[in-house]
Amino acid sequence: MKKIFLLLAAIVSLNLMATGGALPGIFTINADGDKVQFSRGNLQATYDGGNWTWGFAEKQWDYIGDAAANTAVNGNGTVSANGTVDLFCWSTTASYYGIHNNTGITFYAGDFVDWGELIGDGWRTLTKDEWERVVVGHPHGQATVNGIHGLVVMPDGWTHSSTPGGLYFEQIPKNWTTNQYTAAEWEILEEYGALFLPAAGVREGSKVGGIGFSGGYWSATSYNGPETNYYPGAYYAGFLQDGSDIEEDYLYYASSVRLARPYEDHEAIENVVAEPATTKRIEDGQIFILRGDKTYTLTGAEVK
């Protein structure tokens, strides 16, 4: 039975650990009511001269911009200067999760490879429709957080009166200055559940532009149409200071990635594990564990 308890405890532990990089905000992403939590920051890949380490930015407003290694991407998953990359071309088997400087229109064609596979534990890239539900369907607005321009999206259930700490939030102000928050003020909003997507710019080849001016976050949905001259493209959630929408563009424009994972009621999981009650019985000198209507030996084997 100890094995059974350990297994159940491990399941709960893994589920709880998986939310370690997740923000508290809960966002509904479709008409079915599915909900997600976003990662605490944009996806990052750090190179130490021999290996890549994948993870999330420490703060929601963090981005690399035109510093190494964003400006040192050679292609095929290599960089000429060690450091952190956080602007990624379209992710396929040809592009090493978008760490590439090729600007060929068709180079990135092929099946999408989700960046979430690098992190595991349910992390994934939202689809075009899911991103639209977030950056268009949820209350949102341009803002400046700790001096960084970007887009704030409020979680499920937000109303003006529910904004915490006496803070003010205006939807779609069409400027960076109406919603301004210090690091301390943002900590209050983040704990409440607010999402912040920094305007981290875009990379083309090894050149980065649009920093502090535009933000683009890849979706998992590809696109072929007039906006890309019918060459392979993909949708992304994009914004400037005067609005946000779902756009489409060529796959070689390296953009930001913000992963999400399914929201789960972990308190409910713990309650399921805690029940039914477990009791112990000694029979002919042997100890048996009774759990609900089943009986187990100490090794966890069920007694038929």
User: Which tens digits make up the pLDDT trace of 80-99?
Assistant: 999 999 999 999 999 999 99
Nearest Cα to Cα of residue 179 among 159, 151, 139:
151
Domain range summary for the chain, segments of one domain joined by +: 2-15+278-297, 25-139+148-159+195-262
Burial class (CB in 10 A: 0-12, 13-18, 19+), 246: middle
pLDDT of residue 68: 87
What percentage of the chain reaches a pLDDT higher than 70?
A: 82
pLDDT of residue 287: 59
User: Is residue 288 pLDDT above 60, yes or no?
Assistant: no
pLDDT of residue 6: 28
Joined tokens for residue 280: 């112990």
DSSP run (H or E) holding 4: helix 2-18
Q: Stretch 207-217: mean pLDDT, rounded?
A: 97
Report the alpha-carbon distance of residue 255 to residue 179 in Å, rounded: 24
Joined tokens for residue 265: 């009621």
How does pLDDT run across 133-143, given as a tens digit for each residue?
A: 999 999 999 99
Nearest Cα to Cα of residue 63 among 174, 244, 216:
216
Report the alpha-carbon distance of residue 189 to residue 137 in Å, rounded: 19
Half-sphere exposure of 176 (CA within 13 A, CB side): 18
* CB distance 295 to 287 below 8 Å: no
In this prediction, residue 155 has a pLDDT band, given cuts at 50, 70 and 90, of very high
User: Is residue 7 pLDDT above 80, yes or no?
Assistant: no
Nearest Cα to Cα of residue 198 among 90, 62, 103:
62
Q: How many other β-carbons are positioned within 10 Å of the β-carbon of residue 80?
A: 11
- Give the global pTM: 0.82
